[in-house]
Chains A and B, each alone.
Chain A
């Protein structure tokens, strides 16, 4: 021990997005300006107003779990298990084994009720002539309508189980159910658990199969997605005058966090240190955000306080940039409010036009982006920002990535019900 408070390093990154697997491929794709957004291919999106998505093509879950184990995992949980496995591998920690009681798991996601296609098919057998379902027959024929493992697969926090079992993780844990905030809060709470001394290592982050038809059929109604289908990938344009909403993507962003002395003792590579976490909420009726983004401003202020730094110390913001009219404007105002006069000079960018909005994984992805910006000295661009909205008047790094020495960065996340989270990262010293 070197004395002083315990410090928390990011020593591994597990990343799956439509752009590729792993921090290396994703970072190259981000800097090259590639995008994964196109018309949804896994099913016919015709009934949707928004028919675009950033899907992961060719994801092979058998790399991460046996066929037998996979029977119990829906796609989102498979992405979570894959992300956790890749993060541990990236950290140089064995493929499986026993990490024990000093290892924690903190996940965030937006998991939905599973196996709906199967359920819908089978419920047809109990539909009456007039279209109403016959509950009595449903009850009597339950075992032929619902799979026995329905609730095992359906458990919202199931990935905690699958990852804990694969790696023998037995320490502190939680599953946060939400949208972008969920994965970021998971990382914040994991950082605190390591800093406090409840764990020496934690895997934390988010995952989401957001482009699946069921969550798409829900998100499609809320007015937060762009309907500019003909524009393809350029439909998603944060901070731009012609912005019209998000495009969802599927993916996982998980990190391995380790106490600094332990990480150094084993010679681990450190991408960045996490020094601050803050959370807030808009305190208003969803899905509209507070016009001033007061929840986000609070999250940022609290994260800066927690890290004992000021707005002027921040060199980069991995921004939320959901490209909704009210979202981008209130985010801009929140950044101005929380960072003060420093806001005007701080570059801030959103990678969502490239990866899609990863929903439960979006906040965790921003943390990874900030960590990679620190590690590589480059800032990814905000794609499609051709005609900046004059009211979104920060340096949103339009179109081209930019070299920059980043000593401190902040990663942001906002949830659909008004939640906000911010994480401060620092260059390992």
Chain B
């Protein structure tokens, strides 16, 4: 008998709001969290906008014993979202730590500081390349570690079970939630904290992605219109930052402790495109298989899905391939589905993007409201799905599929459904 897995808590720090509830309200209101970036001085940069977290107070959100000062910007978002999710799920915290609990998080390795690189260059010049580099102080090294925040999450959860850091770019939290789902099914843990955290709003990320031609540009005067998934005038994605964490739990474990069950995780699939590193195949093949694997895993018919939380990046290629993939997987049912992209409002939270989509799916299931795709004013040719343009739609949602398709050709699809009666 396969163990059933439910979600009992959510936490978030996003451009739409600094907790899960505010993020959900932002999604339903169709509010854009995109503006001019102030994470560094963007004057002169080819792209100057992003979905930035604002007004976040780590000291108020991160328990004192964890020590927020040692954490990176991304790490602070992640640990704050994790603490909120653990609190929301009313997970009992105390000594001794439990080896039936674990953490799996999507994230990214820390970026080197520009000043360090400049100083290193100066050192090389002034020593005639006899000295190639500087040693880095331990606190800087640890702050750059992708997994330091994950260990802080394990500490706040009092968990000695699995502690897993994942990076698969834009599908990172999809993999993290998927592997956590498997870990609970397989009996490795009864409870997993899963999601993603990222802050790719540094000079390095903005330049790196803009040199690839992946970012929407030309919207400095109207940042809120830049992310326009499925719109004919879409021209790239908008970088975002933030964190979303979910408490996944064995159904019986959750019932036994009287936890409120928000939704059930029903299926997971991950695939590889084996196509090109920066694009997805136009026929949507890798995405199709991910969605089909998730349906097969959940053992449900495609017609049970009422809502697809799209990857919907607002790049020309992704949105076309995703539309083709949804049509292929859902066939006649595709025109009855609702499909929307939270990235139209929050920007692309990279490693946290799939987890934000899970938050949207859970909200839609619980509140019978599907968040919109904003900025979708000019439907593109052949883009004839119901993308819920502009305003949220009130409608019951039984089950939702969450898509994440990454740079590098990794795809994940997750299915969540109404809480088991």
Chains A and B come from one and the same complex:
yes
B169 proximity list for chain A (CB < 8 A): 155-157
Do B168 and A217 touch across chains, with their CB atoms under 8 A apart? no
Do B111 and A113 touch across chains, with their CB atoms under 8 A apart? yes
Give which listed residue, B135, B209, B293, contacts A220 with CB less than 8 A: B135
Chain A residues within 8 Å of chain B by Cβ, number: 95
Do A177 and B136 touch across chains, with their CB atoms under 8 A apart? no
Q: Does A382 contact B (CB under 8 A)?
A: no
B162 proximity list for chain A (CB < 8 A): 185, 279-281
A283 proximity list for chain B (CB < 8 A): 97, 151, 154-155, 158-160
Chain B nearest CB, measured from A352 CB (Å): 21
Closest residue of B by beta carbon distance from A216: B133
Q: Does A154 contact B (CB under 8 A)?
A: yes
Closest residue of A by beta carbon distance from B118: A133
B179 proximity list for chain A (CB < 8 A): 174, 189
Q: Does B233 contact A (CB under 8 A)?
A: no
B391 proximity list for chain A (CB < 8 A): none
Closest residue of A by beta carbon distance from B65: A285
A48 proximity list for chain B (CB < 8 A): 135
Do B44 and A135 touch across chains, with their CB atoms under 8 A apart? yes
For window 100-145 of B, CB contacts with A under 8 Å fall at 102-103, 107-109, 111-112, 114-115, 117-122, 124-125, 130-138, 140-142, 144-145
B383 proximity list for chain A (CB < 8 A): none
Would A142 and B147 be within 8 Å (CB), given that A177-B107, A189-B182 are in contact?
no
Do B289 and A123 touch across chains, with their CB atoms under 8 A apart? no
The number of A-B residue pairs with CB atoms under 8 Å apart is 289
Would A279 and B161 be within 8 Å (CB), given that A160-B408, A221-B141 are in contact?
yes
Interface string of A299-329 (1 = CB under 8 A from B): 0011000100000000000000000000000
* Interface pairs A-B: 10 shortest CB-CB: A281-B163, A139-B45, A139-B44, A279-B162, A151-B208, A136-B44, A164-B272, A156-B167, A417-B147, A164-B274
**Please, could you name 21 A-B residue pairs with CB atoms under 8 Å apart, sorted by A?**
A105-B272, A112-B109, A133-B118, A135-B41, A151-B212, A157-B406, A158-B408, A168-B274, A171-B271, A173-B410, A174-B179, A176-B165, A177-B109, A214-B112, A279-B164, A283-B159, A284-B151, A286-B142, A287-B138, A419-B147, A419-B165
Residues of A within 8 A of B (CB): 43-44, 46-49, 72, 101, 105, 111-113, 116, 119-121, 123-124, 126-127, 131-133, 135-140, 142-143, 145-148, 150-152, 154-158, 160-161, 164-165, 167-178, 182, 185, 189, 192, 196, 198, 213-214, 217-223, 278-287, 294-295, 298, 301-302, 306, 415-419
Other CB < 8 Å A-B pairs besides A217-B133, A302-B188, 11 of them?
Answer: A47-B131, A127-B121, A168-B274, A172-B270, A174-B270, A214-B133, A281-B159, A284-B151, A286-B142, A286-B148, A306-B187
Residues of B within 8 A of A (CB): 40-46, 67, 97, 99, 102-103, 107-109, 111-112, 114-115, 117-122, 124-125, 130-138, 140-142, 144-148, 150-151, 154-155, 158-169, 175, 178-179, 182, 186-188, 203-204, 207-212, 269-275, 277-278, 286, 289, 293, 406-410
